[in-house]
Amino acid sequence: MTYIRLGYVAMSMELQNASPSQTMTYAQFSKLKDREAAIRRLERIAQSNLHNCLRLLRHNEAGGIEFFRFSSKLIPLADHPELSDWSYMRGVKRETAAIKAYLREHPHIRADFHPDHFVVLNSPDMEVLKSSIKALTFHYKMLKAMGIPPKHRCVLHVGGGYHDKEQALEQFILNWAYVPVPIQEMIILENDDTLFGADDVLYLCEKLGIPFVFDLHHHKMNPQGDFEEKWERIAKTWECSMLPVKIHLSSPRDSKNPKAHADYVEVTEILEIAKGNRGYVQQIDVMLEAKLKDSAVFRMAEELKHTPGFKQVKGACFQFKPL
pLDDT tens-place string over residues 139-177 = 999 999 999 999 999 999 999 999 999 999 999 999 999
Q: Are 50 and 111 in contact (CB under 8 A)?
A: no
Q: Crossing angle for the helix pair 198-208 and 227-236, nearest 10 degrees?
A: 20
Q: Which residue type does 144 have?
A: K
Chain segment 20-40, per-residue pLDDT in tens: 999 999 999 999 999 999 999
Q: Residue 113 and residue 180: Cα distance in Å, rounded?
A: 18
Q: Which residue type does 10 have?
A: A
Q: Which residues pair with 248 in a beta bridge?
A: 215, 287
Residue 323: pLDDT over 80: no
Residue 75: pLDDT over 90: yes
Mean pLDDT of the 193-197 span: 98
- pLDDT at position 322 is 85
Chain segment 296-305, per-residue pLDDT in tens: 999 999 999 9
- pLDDT at position 88 is 96
Chain segment 217-268, per-residue pLDDT in tens: 999 999 999 999 999 999 999 999 999 999 999 999 999 999 999 999 999 9
- Return the percent helix, strand and coil in the chain, to nearest 5: 45, 15, 40
Mean pLDDT of the 201-215 span: 98
Mean pLDDT of the 132-141 span: 97
Ramachandran sector of residue 79 (left: φ over 0; alpha: ψ -120 to 50; beta: rest): alpha
Domains belonging to the chain, first-starting first, are 2-15+110-320 (3.20.20.150)
Q: Residue 189 and residue 211: Cα distance in Å, rounded?
A: 7
Q: Residue 9 and residue 151: Cα distance in Å, rounded?
A: 19
Write down the mean pLDDT value for the chain.
Answer: 97
- pLDDT at position 260 is 96
Torsion of CA 175, 178, 182, 183, to 10 degrees: -40
Chain segment 265-313, per-residue pLDDT in tens: 999 999 999 999 999 999 999 999 999 999 999 999 999 999 999 999 9
Q: Residue 201 and residue 192: Cα distance in Å, rounded?
A: 9
Q: Residue 243 and residue 131: Cα distance in Å, rounded?
A: 28
Buried b (16+ CB within 10 A) or exposed e, 276-287: bbeeebeebbbb
DSSP 90: G
- pLDDT at position 102 is 98
Q: Residue 154 and residue 12: Cα distance in Å, rounded?
A: 20
Mean pLDDT of the 122-140 span: 97
- In the chain, pLDDT over 70 holds for what percent of residues? 100
Chain segment 88-118, per-residue pLDDT in tens: 999 999 999 999 999 999 999 999 999 999 9
Residues 6+ away with beta carbon under 8 Å from 25: 76
Closest CA to 67 of 296, 279, 306, 307: 296
* Residue 81 pLDDT level (bands cut at 50, 70, 90): very high
Mean pLDDT of the 48-61 span: 98
Q: Residue 262 and residue 39: Cα distance in Å, rounded?
A: 38
DSSP 244: P
3-state secondary structure of 213: strand
Residue 136: pLDDT over 80: yes
- Backbone φ and ψ for 268, nearest 5 degrees, come out as -60, -30
Mean pLDDT of the 60-75 span: 98
